[in-house]
Structure formats: C-alpha cells, structure tokens
Amino acid sequence: MVDFRQLTKIIGNIHSQTQAKAINAVNQSLTVRNWIIGLYIVEYEQNGSDRASYGSKLLSQLAENIKIKGLTGPELSRCRQFYHRYPLILGTLSQEFKLLLPESILGAPSQELKNDLIASKIIKKLSYSHIVELIKIDDTLKRNFYEIECMKGTWSVRELKRQIGSLYYERSGLSQDPSKLSLSTQSKIKPTQSTDIIKNIYAFEFLEISNMETVEESDLETALLDHLQSFITELGHGFCFEARQKKILIGDNYYFIDLVFYHRILKCHVIIELKVGTFIHGDIGQLNTYLNYYKAEVTEKDDNPPVGILLVADKDHALVEYATAGMDEHLFVQQYLIKLPSKEQLVDYINKELRRLS
C-alpha cells in the first residue's frame, strides 16, 4: 500500500511520461507532414500533368487554394527544401505514414527504402523549428555536425542559431582538440525541456492554436498593450482594429507586430510597436522594416502608404517616434499627423499607465 507522498510522486511521473509521449507524437506528425508535403510538391513539379500552367507561381497558388493555417507559399517552399535536404527520411517512416505516400514512390521497383540513423533520430529528437534552421546549411558535413551536437546537447532553437552564428563548426575544425571544445561548449548550455519542443510557431499552427499563445511578453508590456488598443480606438473616428501580435514572415524569419490598425479616413494602415526599456536606434529601423513589408505585401492600390508609431516606455521617461518608411514628408505632416494621436497624447498615456502599474 502506497502512502500519500508516494501517490503524488506516481501521479507526477505518469503525467511527465504521458506528456512527453504526446509532445513527441505531435512533433513527429508535424515534421513528417511537412516532409511528405515537400515530396508531393517535388513529384508534381517533375511529373504533374498541368505543372506548366503554374510555373513559378505554383507555391503561392497552392497556398491560396489549400488555405491551411501556416502553409503559406514560403512555408511550402521550406517543405520542398526539407525533402531535398533529407531524402533518407523516407526509410524511417512508419507504416501509417507510408500510407500517405504516392504510389510512384513506394511502387517503383528501383526504389530503395534506405534507413538512415541520423534521419531517424532527427524525426524523434528535433522539432520542425530546429529543422528549419538546419536546412539553411548547404554544406552536408556542416549540417551533420550541428544535427549531432544539437541532439547531443538537447539545444533549444535559439541555442542552435546562436551556435551557428558563433561559427562553432568552423572553430571546431580549427581546434587542436575538437572533443574538448565540444565538452566545454555543451557544459555551458542549458538543455531544453520536452515541453519547449512544442512551444513554437509551427506546432501552434499545426494544432490550430491562436498565435497569441506563441508569443511570450513581459507582464508590463502585456498590461500596456491591453489598454493601448482601446485608448487608440477611443481617440477619434477612423481607427479600425485589425490585429495584435500580427505575425509576418520576412525572409526566413517570423516577426510579430504589436498592434495593427486601419484608418478608414486616411485609408492606410497604422502600425504600433511598444518597447519596454531604453530606446535604441534599431527600434525605429525595425518599425520601418514592418512598414516596407506592408507597402510591398499588404497595401492595396487605393490605399495610402502605412505609417508607424513607436512607443517607448522607459522607467525614466516616455518616448514617441513616428516612422514613415520613405513617405513624402509633406504628405505625412499635412495629412497624416492631423488625424493621428499627437506625441503629447501618447506620452501622457504611457506615463499614466506606468504610474498605474507601478
């Protein structure tokens, strides 16, 4: 007969073990799904009966028609690249996943379903977010190095990116004792938890969970944003709320815009970024990047250029900066500023909120 302490320990162990299995199942399903999607895209590009009709627009047209959360044109391109980088994953698939494969793959007499130990471990031990970073590496030996080190040290995605950026592979090649360098490097890294594997953009989209839950914010920033949305809306006519923590893809990286409004009188998007802490010049540069993205990807023909507002909530002072991303200064001053909140209004808002929350 167990006592109460043993009972709590048993329940805790059961939870940990079943949770780990559930997380691993989701991770493997997501990874395999994207690999199989990549396979089908390649097969279509090579043998599709009407492939010539789509050409370079294939992936964007495909994304528009399937309408699956997270599977944009760039993400479908990533799936295709994933398939090209890891063809031997085919031999690691379980029977239930093989049922999803085209007959041309499984039925071809020359097809050898080779199993690869590293490919098998990648499916089980790394999240798709890890794989996204690894497929960017062209050199196979270099990619294999990071695969092994990442799995050996159970690195987070952030740590993987940091080690690639620090030229760990190149430093290892120059080191007189690579194994010693590996031990030293791994000892300084905090291993990721199993629950962290599923806390990524791809997993949340795969499970159709709100993007809001994928973004970690400080309590102060969250509280300020909670009230900022209604404050902006109440300032006057014209502001229509569109999104909070709007996710956009620029190149190979995702970014999250704090607040996005559409101003129906100015006929433009108003992008608001909130920074808790000291202002740095990179903040305004980041906001300008968002504006350029909106000008290129979102703005309609009859829209005016977007405008950005940067709010800095420093503990010593509040700061407001407007960003125009190359917009004609005369147009901005004469037409936009009249309809937008003044710096004084926004500074006063930030200061009041900081006092209320302190």
Structure tokens, 190 = 């905090």
Give the pLDDT band (50/70/90) at residue 213. Answer: very low
Tell me the three-class secondary structure of the chain, residue by residue.
CCCHHHHHHHHHHHHHHHHHHHHHHHHHHHHHHHHHHHHHHHHHHHHCCCHHHCHHHHHHHHHHHHCCCCCCHHHHHHHHHHHHHCHHHHHHCCHHHHCCCCHHHHCCCCCCCCCCHHHHHHHHHCCHHHHHHHCCCCCHHHHHHHHHHHHHCCCCHHHHHHHHHCCHHHHHHHCCCHHHHHHHHHHCCCCCCHHHHHCCHHHHHHCCCCHHHHCCCCHHHHHHHHHHHHHHHHCCCCEEEEEEEEEEEECCEEEEEEEEEEECCCCEEEEEEEECCCCCHHHHHHHHHHHHHHHHHCCCCCCCCCEEEEEEECCCCEEEEEECCCCCHHHHHHHHHHHCCCHHHHHHHHHHHHHHHC
- Out of 76-80, 110-114, 220-224, 230-234, the most confident range is 76-80
Residue 77: the pLDDT is: 93
Give the pLDDT band (50/70/90) at residue 185. Answer: confident
| Tens digit of each residue's pLDDT (9 = 90 or more) over 76-125 | 999 999 999 998 888 888 888 888 888 777 665 444 455 566 788 888 88
Least confident of 68-72, 197-201, 286-290: 197-201
Least confident of 127-136, 206-215, 221-230, 258-267: 206-215
Of 291 and 324, the structure prediction assigns the larger pLDDT to: 291
d(CA 147, CA 202): 19
Q: Which amino acid is at 296?
A: A
Angle at 19 between CA 82 and CA 86, to 5 degrees: 15
Domain limits, the chain? 4-202, 217-357
d(CA 346, CA 232): 9
Residue 54: the pLDDT is: 85
Residue 51: the pLDDT is: 84
| Tens digit of each residue's pLDDT (9 = 90 or more) over 5-59 | 888 999 989 988 888 888 888 888 999 999 999 999 999 999 888 888 888 889 9
Give the pLDDT band (50/70/90) at residue 4. Answer: confident
Residue 184: the pLDDT is: 76
Least confident of 122-131, 140-149, 208-217, 218-227: 208-217
Residue 196: the pLDDT is: 64
d(CA 97, CA 31): 11
Correct CATH for 217-357 of 3.40.50.2020, 2.40.50.140, 3.40.1350.10, 3.30.230.10: 3.40.1350.10
* Helix (H), strand (E) at residue 258: strand 253-263
Of 220 and 294, the structure prediction assigns the larger pLDDT to: 294
Asked whether residue 209 carries a pLDDT value surpassing 80, the answer given is no
Least confident of 20-29, 52-61, 207-216, 343-352: 207-216
Give the pLDDT band (50/70/90) at residue 326. Answer: low
d(CA 9, CA 31): 33
SS3 313: strand
Asked whether residue 334 carries a pLDDT value surpassing 90, the answer given is no
d(CA 77, CA 132): 11
Least confident of 34-48, 57-71, 206-220: 206-220
Asked whether residue 342 carries a pLDDT value surpassing 70, the answer given is yes
* CB 118 within 8 Å of CB 86: no
Q: Which amino acid is at 124?
A: K
Q: For residues 332-347, give the mean pLDDT.
A: 73
Give the pLDDT band (50/70/90) at residue 211. Answer: low
Residue 216: the pLDDT is: 45
Q: What is the mean pLDDT of the chain?
A: 82
* Helix (H), strand (E) at residue 250: strand 239-250
d(CA 221, CA 275): 8
Nearest partner of 202 among 325, 68, 335, judged by Cα: 68
Least confident of 141-150, 215-224, 332-341: 215-224
Least confident of 113-117, 142-146, 353-357: 113-117
